[in-house]
Chain A
């Protein structure tokens, strides 16, 4: 992995689901209603062991395909807007290799390596022409016309055969 690869480390033990990341992202990027650069997903609540009153309940912020890691901010040395405004202070921005090391120090964390508009990033389809076109088409053999053509969907067998559409 490139040392220049940056990501977001999220401590979801303490993500309270406040959605400040979602809204500051929309304000920063001017994304309208219905479009998001990050979303907070809700998981739970459900009881881990029935009757104990101990519940599983987690919020996990997930960067979308419109997350550009706030390139306009980070190129000036600032942290992304979601990091700055996160009420629970659970988002850390940095080189992924450093974040991965940090991730080993505490449980309930998730590390994201977002990709802004991944299809665009892949670029337009361009045929590579890497394959050797010779030989791909097969042997050079003359083929004759087919007088006994039939519907291929009707598989023939010797003892049980009828032709659909020809039954009177």
Chain B
């Protein structure tokens, strides 16, 4: 961050010559005010910071939303979740004033009463003071999600509540952080992202750029998810220019149909495949020997491990485990190794298994031994100043020595210490047992765990209701989680109402810094930064003396006080400075020396840090806990492999169900069943089914499709029905179609990471009920006043 200069624009060929390229961050057009910004979607999404133009009328009401062609990566393009932003902001069910409810009446949707911000803050303060006096600040927990304003908003935990227990509640933190941890420990850098030229002024035509010849898309569908801030359709931009694809995915999705090679592995067996690819590349001598000699540590040990008859892996062995022809594994290994440059885009599937750290380790090894780390068109790294942009913010000040009380820190330091989070599964246990100490005060900040994030959601529900004396949330819409357990509801600003930043890839790799200044305001909704500032000043004023205004806080939290938000925000999109091969010029290490930021200064194919944490320093394959190979005795009852959570375009996790035009694209929860399997079971296309296993069951509507093979069932995740009765026990139908009912907690790996959301067993049968959504009801309930 040397300079804050607006990124140059690269015009799309389909954009007309009449356009808004070069317009300032705010301008007038046809009697409307246009504000350009770079938000995280509605509230939630991934940190992509897509360019938006918000058109407001004389009453500051948004009347039009359009993609901003000035954004160097999105170039005017937008997905349905931002295109429907007006329907989100002006949705009749949106909550725009604070509300309170008698804790005795939790779960009663009719018991909420509107109150003022002052009253809401007073209620929160009274409970906070009483509870922390009796049980200590560690008795507070923040339930956090993917993020929605510049990050996951750590200061809510650190300097607002002063608790060490900030907690993403997905079992084994099975989203992004296992990959981030593997990267940090093995490469010494937060996250190697594929090089899609996002920070280069000339983008794909920039002289510094080289187009990857081959891209492996591994357990990721970025077109719909924009996972971790990668603008997914940049992959299509690359394919058009000539990049060829290898797809690693159990599902035959659209992107897989465009791949030269589709490795359609059995769900959960990624580590075996990755080890086999390493084995082929090393044993056939296709690796970059010079790169390995200078920049990698432990190559001989890795080779020995791969060739070990017991713990090793060959293409033939992997073929049997993964259910892919051996020659396809060999072909893919050769294609990747021989392409120059080549890159790997790795996704959520890596995180969602106990053996995922090893899958990540192998994928990093694949990048390293082929010499594709931090080169143009390879997998690029952030420099020594990047890293998750807010992890640990305010910890010294607000948490201090209490950090040692963090739930799970002693048992799983490789997890808790890395992300400064309480361990999800151990937090569940603590809520249930009150051990090692009781958790009494809760806050949701960007999390609807009962519908989306958490495994065994009913168990979390019961634990939270049993344990918490007080709980509040800040959100845009009522959620099943808040309806069940909150006593105060604070209204949250939507993206066009925010002041803040979006740094792509959470700031963990070279990218774009996006800035947003509010285009309008709705009701009494506040941004996360404003609410945190307000509550922080009320609950713990001693930690907020440095900030007179919210902007002072943003300047510190987002810009490390090196810049002033208001001065840099008009640039809207700022590209990071790109330096490739930073290991050669000392830009990866705090001491400024050449090499990587690891104990050996090299990429550790033999991980001394894994060893330090008592895990095997070399990759090994473990079967999923429940799988045809590991538990054949279960196949009698649960004959299918269950994988969950493939992303639709219409929704971001549990959000957008009340946005009519999003819901219309995907009105019902969909279970994908192969037509042959369906025929055998008597399931008709569009018929409702029950899917169940030893942990629970749910009901979804069948789509017969060859996207899944005959042995695999895929279920959509995060379903609830905002049009239904919100009171307990229905809770907007939260338990009916919730596939997390079938997912257990406490199935993570040695370092505490991973959960089997994508590799379980299940059975399925057709049912007689028709539970189809009535779109007329959704439209009538949720359309805007002016529609």
Contacts and interface: CB of A to CB of B under 8 A. Distances in A.
Interface of A: 13-14, 16-20, 22-24, 26-27, 30, 32-34, 44-47, 53, 55-57, 59, 76-79, 81, 83-89, 91-93
Given A26-B661, A85-B83, A18 B16 contact: no
Given A18-B224, A33-B776, A84-B76, A27 B707 contact: no
A19 B787 contact: no
Given A22-B665, A79-B16, A85 B77 contact: yes
A25 to B, nearest CB: 10
Nearest to A26: B661
B78 A24 contact: yes
Contacts of A16: 223, 233, 236, 254-255
A14 B257 contact: no
A45 B707 contact: yes
A62 to B, nearest CB: 16
B257 A33 contact: no
Given A16-B233, A16-B254, A78 B16 contact: yes
Given A27-B83, A53-B328, A84-B15, 14 more contacts: A16-B233, A18-B224, A23-B84, A23-B661, A24-B83, A27-B65, A27-B661, A53-B264, A55-B706, A79-B15, A83-B15, A87-B77, A87-B223, A88-B233
A87 B239 contact: no
Nearest to B662: A23
Nearest to A56: B257
Interface residues of B, number: 54
Interface string B517-544: 0000000000000000000000000000
A23 B778 CA distance: 16
A17 B705 CA distance: 16
B776 A85 contact: no
Interface string B656-671: 0000111011000000
Nearest to B86: A27
B17 interface: yes
Contact of B77 (A20, A32, A76, A77): A20
B99 interface: no
B681 interface: no
B239 A23 contact: no
Top 7 A-B residue pairs of the complex, sorted by shortest distance between their CB atoms: A77-B18, A57-B257, A33-B779, A79-B16, A23-B80, A87-B233, A55-B257
Contacts of B19: 78
Interface in B223-267: 223-224, 232-233, 236-237, 239-240, 252, 254-258, 262, 264
A20 B65 CA distance: 13
Contacts of B733: none
Nearest to A59: B254
Interface of B: 12-19, 65-67, 69, 75-80, 83-84, 86, 223-224, 232-233, 236-237, 239-240, 252, 254-258, 262, 264, 328, 649-650, 660-662, 664-665, 705-707, 775-776, 778-779, 783, 787
A77 B16 CA distance: 7
A76 B18 CA distance: 8
Contacts of A55: 252, 256-257, 706
A77 B15 CA distance: 10
A20 B783 contact: no
Contact of B664 (A13, A33, A47, A77): A33
Nearest to A17: B254
A57 B83 contact: no
Contacts of A18: 79-80, 223-224, 233, 649
A27 B728 CA distance: 35
B780 to A, nearest CB: 9
B53 to A, nearest CB: 10
Contact of A20 (B80, B252, B258): B80
A34 B665 CA distance: 10
A57 B240 CA distance: 17
A78 B262 contact: no
B783 A57 contact: no
Contacts of B84: 23, 27
A56 B80 CA distance: 26
A20 B233 CA distance: 12
Contacts of B665: 19, 22-23
18 contacts: A18-B233, A20-B649, A23-B83, A23-B84, A32-B787, A34-B779, A44-B706, A45-B252, A45-B257, A53-B262, A55-B257, A76-B18, A77-B16, A84-B77, A85-B78, A86-B77, A87-B236, A89-B237
A55 B260 CA distance: 11
Contacts of B224: 18
Contact of B787 (A30, A59, A89): A30
A19 B19 CA distance: 23
Contacts of B232: 87
A85 B257 contact: no
Contacts of A27: 65, 83-84, 86, 661
Contacts of B257: 44-45, 55-57
Nearest to B19: A78
A92 B66 CA distance: 18
A124 B489 CA distance: 57
B142 to A, nearest CB: 34
Nearest to A88: B236
B779 A85 contact: no
A114 B262 CA distance: 37
B77 A46 contact: no
B56 to A, nearest CB: 16
Nearest to B20: A78
A165 to B, nearest CB: 47
A84 B83 contact: no
A81 B660 CA distance: 19
B479 to A, nearest CB: 23
